[in-house]
Amino acid sequence: MTNVFDAFSGTDDALYGPLPDPAADAGFAGDHPKRVGFFTDTSVCIGCKACEVACKEWNLVPNDGTDASDLYRLTGMSYDNTGDLGASTWRHVAFIEDVRPHNTATTGHLPSALPAVSGGPVPGLPRDAATAPPGPGGSSSGTIDLLALLPDSGAHGQQTPDDERDVRWLMSSDVCKHCTHAGCLDNCPTGALFRTEFGTVVVQDDICNGCGYCVPSCPYGVIDVRESDGGAHKCTLCYDRLGSGLEPACAKACPTNSIQFGDLDELQATADARLAELHGLGVEEAQLYGRNPDDGVGGDGAFFLLLDEPEVYGLPPDPIVTTRDLPEMWRNAALTAVGLGVAAVASFWPGRAKRRVRGGTRR
């Protein structure tokens, strides 16, 4: 296990930076299982919410409301009825309706794994239709009119006429990132949060005292305290299923394989190949999020392929573990304490007796 003095001296990566094996750093023997995680490919997410339902059913997560009148917490803004991750929402399917003035939105490419509505250009196609990625030889493989899917009643709250706006749907199933450097774990005073042999981060309900220190420590705003029991809760990556050789419930239920589970190194290779495929199809805005081990949390155990900037999905563009600056803070505090101590000693140190000569007499 990491020596705390090495961490604060800056000679170890216990609090920030790349960490090849978080489980070994937590004290597990070298023969522990390989690190596992999630790769969520948002380009094939259809927003069905099967992952949300499977997560709640398997983990017995209560409804998102606090009472019967708030049972489903309908936002009234979109099909996204949960709004965000929380103590009772361990999987959150985000529905992003990207509506902008015409010619200002990024082209909404159809995922290559899904068929286009038609086999080629359609005469008289509205100019707001999203086009599929170019096929071999630069020809379009098909088109689909996104605006035709919207109701004419203005239920989406848009005041701009249909022919003056561009609309694109983005969907993504968000989850706890199981960070390499988990601020929630580092700041837990009771040890309720711990690193498993699979490299994941889990809350022990019977040890958590509900202090809430973990909540502001998470750079993603994932973990939260549940009002009904006073404890902190978040995704466990189905720790009980992992111990039995089963994949997490959400990945098992995903019908499009948008949520992929497996050894983290294999998932990273799969994600790199998928990103290269999308770039080759002309989807230049596609990017991986949480894949980089040199980012502010040392890379995530659950990472994503996004079709736009992280902010569009409600994700922080540059997450940083809250303990990253602890070594420097403590070093500065120590230097300040030493300086104050030296000043205090100097102010009370007995000086040499002053000698005065008055009328030929020395004192």
Of the candidates 47, 58, 112, the residue with the CA atom closest to the CA atom of residue 80: 47
Question: From CA 315, how far away is CA 245, in angstroms rounded?
Answer: 31
Of the candidates 65, 61, 47, the residue with the CA atom closest to the CA atom of residue 90: 61
Question: Tell me, what's the pLDDT at 17?
Answer: 74
Coil/strand/helix, residue 343? helix
| In contact, 15 and 324? CB cutoff 8 Å | yes
Domain 32-64+73-110+165-336, what architecture? Answer: 2-Layer Sandwich (3.30)
Question: From CA 237, how far away is CA 221, in angstroms rounded?
Answer: 17
Question: From CA 215, how far away is CA 351, in angstroms rounded?
Answer: 54
Tally of residues, the chain:
363
Alpha helices (runs of H) in 151-290, residue ranges in sequence order = 183-186, 214-217, 239-243, 249-253, 264-280
pTM (whole model) above 0.85: no
In the chain, the amino acid numbered 140 is S
Of the candidates 171, 172, 166, the residue with the CA atom closest to the CA atom of residue 130: 166
Burial (CB count within 10 angstroms: exposed 0-12, middle 13-18, buried 19+), residue 255: exposed
Q: List the pLDDT tens digit at each of the 363 positions of the chain.
A: 444 444 444 445 566 678 889 999 999 998 999 999 999 999 999 999 999 999 999 999 998 764 445 555 666 667 787 888 999 999 999 998 877 676 655 544 433 333 333 333 334 433 333 343 444 444 444 444 444 444 443 333 344 555 566 778 899 999 999 999 999 999 999 999 999 999 999 999 999 999 999 999 999 999 999 988 999 999 999 999 999 999 999 999 999 999 999 999 999 999 999 999 999 999 999 999 999 999 999 999 999 999 999 999 999 999 998 877 767 766 778 888 888 888 888 887 765 444 444 455 554
